[in-house]
Every structure is written in C-alpha cells, then in structure tokens.
Structure 1
C-alpha cells in the first residue's frame, strides 16, 4: 500500500513560483474578484508565494540559499512581468508581504546573468516604475517600503540618473517636508542618495539644471522646520565639495543671493546650523576671485559679520583648533575688505 499522500509537496521551481506569483497577484484585481473570500484566498496565496521566494533567495536559517535558483528566480520574474505587479500591488499587500518583498528586492537587483543584472535591465525598460516609487511618498502606508526599494535602485547609476532627470525628482522638495516625521526623514535619505551616490551624474544634472535646482533648494535652506534647514545645509556642503562639482561650487559662490542665505543662517538660533553655515560662508569669503558684488556685501555688513563670527565656536570635538584658524582667516579677510576705499555700494 502506498502512503505517498503523506509526503510533503515538492518545492516549486523558480519558474513555477514566478508563474504562481503572477497568477495570485493578478487575482487581487478587485474587478475580477467577485467574492470577499476569493480575495482573501488570493491574498493568502500572494503572501505565501512571497515568503517562499524569500526563503529561496536568502534561506531559512537552516538551509542556505541556492545561488543558481536565485539567478533563475530573477530571470523568471522578469520574463513573467512579475516585477511590475509587485510594485503596483504594493498598496494593497499586507505589512508582512511588503516587508518580505523589500527584503527580496535588494537580492534580486544583484542577480547577474552573463554580466547583466536582469532585474536592473527590467527597470531600465520600465522606468515609469521608478516614478511610481517616488510618488508613493504621498502614501504613508507604503512610503517607507517604496523608499527602501527606491534606494536600492539608486545604487545603479543609470536608474539614479533617470530619477534626477525625471519631473518626479521635484517632488522631493515637497516630500522632505511632509508632516509625518518618519516619511519625511525617509524621503530625505533618498534625496541625499540621489545627490551623493554618483558624483558624475550629479555634476551633469546640476550643470544643466543649475538655476531651477538651487532656486528650489533655497526653500529648504530657509524652511521654518529646523530639521529641514539643518539636514539640507549639511547635504549642500557634501555635494558641493565633491571634486566633480568644483565648477558648480565656483558658480555658487559668485552669486549674492546665495551669500545672503548663508549670512542669514549664520544668525540662526541653532549653534549647529551656524557652524554648518560658516563652512559654506567661508568659501565665499576665501574665494580669491570674488566678484565686486560679493565684496560690497561683505564690506557693508562687516560689523555684524565680525560680531557673529567672534561669538561663534566649534564647541565640543577635535576640530576646535582648525575651526579657530579658519575663523581668524575669514575675520581678517572681512576686515581687509571693510578698509578698501573703492567698495561703496
């Protein structure tokens, strides 16, 4: 007598699992689901399939993942267009399914077949999915999941470049100031990655969108929100001081309205913001090729500036000596400018 019906079911192959995931995700379409129970069953299938994929990709703590299966899984979800379904169905998936999907996403993007990352290639052929990720910051239920998946995409130069050039990039200036702190912080993390991960792409972007970008960026530097002001000021230092952006920096420090913003931030009630502003302000002052307009502003406001700088200290930390040396140099330069007879406004 055979007792084969007691045997555990055979694990799905990557091809079978990709097909099963596609079918269960498509069954979530409310237009085709007539009954609540049918929808619930479809959701259970989706969650089970995503969990199965997670185990296949990263193991279960006892069994190590099979690298060949991971590669095959990446190939099959691209062939079956499952990636687009994953992303578009995120809003209706349960929290556990989303968490597992985010975990799988970083692994799938790294799977390499003959020097080609097929999931990256899929995203390059479906760039609208990147815009979908960005727009999802407006949905706090899935904002953090989409943010995490988007940052994985941003690690790829071609995908980061697309987002920088996309109209959806402008939405970050809104999203980093959303009232939900977790969502706004996550949006700022993504915004920072876009401006710091790929220096050459950022340099190219800033060169071609200089005026629009810095006009919008100024709204962050002058925000009423302390966290926004502090984070955006620190980020500005990071990407302006990147060697590929030296030409951007040279342009930036010749413009009077940027100098005025830094002078205003030197008066901020936060000591941290004052110090961060000083590190950018000093570049305006130390520039040996300062335009006359910059010299006039510095000379005209020298008394207030000297008073602010003399009261400014680095506080705790190991940079006190360097900070004081730089401050002394800047003070001397402002004093020199104030004595020049030909800088009447």
Structure 2
C-alpha cells in the first residue's frame, strides 16, 4: 500500500478551455445578480480564478516560462469567442484583483501576431465601439484607471489610435482633464498625451483635417482657470506642435492672431513654468518670416509690455541657460525692430 501526502495537482486548462471558461464566468455575472448574494459572490470568485489562470498562461507563474504557441492559440480563441468584448463590457462588474490582472494581460494579448497581423488588434478594429466604451468609462472612478491603461495599450497601434483621434469620443478628453478628481484627470491626461504624441503621422493627418475643431477645444484648456490644466496642456501643445510631422500645422497655428493673444496671456502667468513653456511657442510666432500684418500689428502695439515680460523671464535650470538667453535676446531684437518699423511706417 502506498500513501500520498499531497493531492495530485489538477491539470491546467488548455488555451481553448480557458478562453471558454472566461466567457462562461463573465456571462454568468449577468444571471447571478446582486439579489442572490451567494451566487453572485461565487460568480466573482470564478472570474477571479480564471483571470489568475489567464495571467499565468500569458506571463508564466515564476517556475514555468510562458509558452508562445499556447499564448497565440489563446489570443485567437479570445477573439473567436468574443471574450475581448466581454472584458470591456463587464469591466465595472468584476473585482479589483481581476481588473488588475486584466490590465496586465491586455497589452500582451494585443501584441500577439498571426502572420503579419495582430489578431486582437484586428478584432478591436472591427469592434471599434469597444474603444468608445472604454473612453466613456474614463470618468468612472471605479474603472477609470484600468480603462486608461487599456486605452494606452491600444494607442501603441496606429490603426487604433487613428480611430480614437477621429471618433466623437475624443472630445470627452477635453472634459476629463479638468475633472475635480485628480487621479482620474491625471490618468486622462496621460492617455490624451499618448494619443497626441505616440503616432506622429496619424496625428499630423488628423490635425490638418480637423484643425479648427481641435484647436477651438484646445484653446479652452490653455485658458482654463485650473493651474494644472493650463500648465499640462501648454506643455503638451509644445510637445506635439513642434514635432517635425506637424510642421504644416505649426505654420498655420502661428498665423492665428487669436492664438498669439492666448500665448501672450500665458507669458504673463504667475507660474514661471508656464511662462517658459509659453515663450517657446511665442518665439515661433516672432521668428516666422511670413508674419501676417495682424500679427505684426499686435507685436508692435504691445512691444513695451512684451519687452518687460521677456527681460523678466527666468532662465531654464540646467545646461540650457545659454541657449535660452540667446533665443530670448533674438526675440527681443526682433520685437524692437518691428516696433521701429511700425513707428516709421506711422
């Protein structure tokens, strides 16, 4: 007679079995309502157990490395069984641990390739309403951070970023970044920043086509009463507007008298950080060799105030002081020249 002190380990589910188990337990959240507390708790436990199994399959469990062939098979089955859709639509129903596992697994799934295609990315492209749903949930305090994490993984793929840029949902980010909940607003800004900086070609094409609508909304961020909104939106503007693919957009931007006035207003901000960022956009208006008459008139008319502001600007800390001072001196010289030309013409 032999004795065993350990229960034999239960064989792990195959990728196909796990995908179907995930589908089943997520669907059961609809039928096991909160009214039946015990059944609902069991359903949540099943979800958590299967999410842990998914994480182990995709990332390994410390002792065993993940199997690439199994991961790919699992990703394909997740698309086939529409589990990716369930992940998004059931997000608010699952527990915190499961949301954490999902955030970890989402990016791994998106990176799985069949031939030359990312199978899960293709699935989301064909079910683009999932992206809109995730954006809509970015102001839900329970799931906002998970949604933001999942969206930023999606933005890494140009085809999904392009959809998000062109979707009506984009306008929601202009509201989210001003929400009173700091964590939600900061996370929304992180997603918005990725959307405007990670895919320069798609962003440039979008801005050229939707220039008026986009910058009409963006101006409200730059003139917000909220200091964090002003500072972060100006910093972001500087980052994406000066990207080489956005040269055409920048050339259009610096012809706009209204935007010159906005940037001049930010030069007067009480925050030194905002003043410095505003200067780096203001200098492009001034350096433009093809300034329209309205821009020249504004600069000449306000030259005394502008010169005072420019002389009072603090130099950047670090090794950029010398370059900053050179640029500031050139801008001052150009504004003086404009004012002299204007007086002479007058």
Are the aligned partners of 2:177 and 2:189 in contact in 1 as well (CA < 8 Å)?
Answer: yes
For residues 237 and 45 of structure 2, what CA distance do their matches in structure 1 show?
46
Q: Partner residue of 1:267?
A: 268
CA deviation map 1:24-66 (0-9, x unaligned):
1100004778732222111111110010010011011111111
Relative to structure 1, the CA distance from residue 341 to residue 20 in structure 2 (aligned partners, 3 Å threshold; closer, same or farther) is closer
Q: Partner residue of 1:242?
A: 243
Kindly report which structure 2 residues correspond to 1:29-44, keeping only aligned pairs within 5 A, or say none.
Answer: 29-30=30-31, 35-44=36-45
1:67 aligns with 2:86: no
| TM-score normalised over the length of structure 1 | 0.96
Q: Partner residue of 1:138?
A: 139
**1:8 shift after superposition:** 2.0
Relative to structure 1, the CA distance from residue 111 to residue 343 in structure 2 (aligned partners, 3 Å threshold; closer, same or farther) is farther
Runs of 4+ in 1 over 6 A off after TM superposition: 1-5, 31-34, 342-345
Q: Runs of 5+ in structure 1 lacking a partner?
A: none
Are the aligned partners of 2:32 and 2:43 in contact in 1 as well (CA < 8 Å)?
Answer: no
For residues 134 and 140 of structure 2, what CA distance do their matches in structure 1 show?
10
**1:115 shift after superposition:** 1.8
Q: Partner residue of 2:151?
A: 150
For residues 68 and 342 of structure 2, what CA distance do their matches in structure 1 show?
74
For residues 183 and 30 of structure 1, what CA distance do their matches in structure 2 show?
31
Q: CA RMSD of the aligned region, Å?
A: 1.8
Q: Partner residue of 2:185?
A: 184
Give the number of aligned pairs: 345
Relative to structure 1, the CA distance from residue 49 to residue 31 in structure 2 (aligned partners, 3 Å threshold; closer, same or farther) is closer
For residues 112 and 21 of structure 2, what CA distance do their matches in structure 1 show?
21
Kindly report which structure 2 residues correspond to 1:55-204, keeping only aligned pairs within 5 A, or say none.
Answer: 55-204=56-205
SS in 2 for 1:92: coil
For residues 17 and 2 of structure 1, what CA distance do their matches in structure 2 show?
34
**1:316 shift after superposition:** 2.1
Kindly report which structure 2 residues correspond to 1:38-57, keeping only aligned pairs within 5 A, or say none.
Answer: 38-57=39-58
SS in 2 for 1:29: helix
SS in 2 for 1:11: coil
Greater Cα shift, 26-35 or 94-103: 26-35
Relative to structure 1, the CA distance from residue 2 to residue 130 in structure 2 (aligned partners, 3 Å threshold; closer, same or farther) is farther
For residues 344 and 297 of structure 2, what CA distance do their matches in structure 1 show?
5
Q: Runs of 5+ in structure 2 lacking a partner?
A: none
For residues 119 and 343 of structure 1, what CA distance do their matches in structure 2 show?
66
For residues 325 and 151 of structure 2, what CA distance do their matches in structure 1 show?
41
SS in 1 for 2:255: coil
Are the aligned partners of 1:296 and 1:343 in contact in 2 as well (CA < 8 Å)?
Answer: no
Are the aligned partners of 2:224 and 2:230 in contact in 1 as well (CA < 8 Å)?
Answer: yes
Relative to structure 1, the CA distance from residue 63 to residue 301 in structure 2 (aligned partners, 3 Å threshold; closer, same or farther) is same
**1:181 shift after superposition:** 0.6
For residues 132 and 12 of structure 1, what CA distance do their matches in structure 2 show?
31
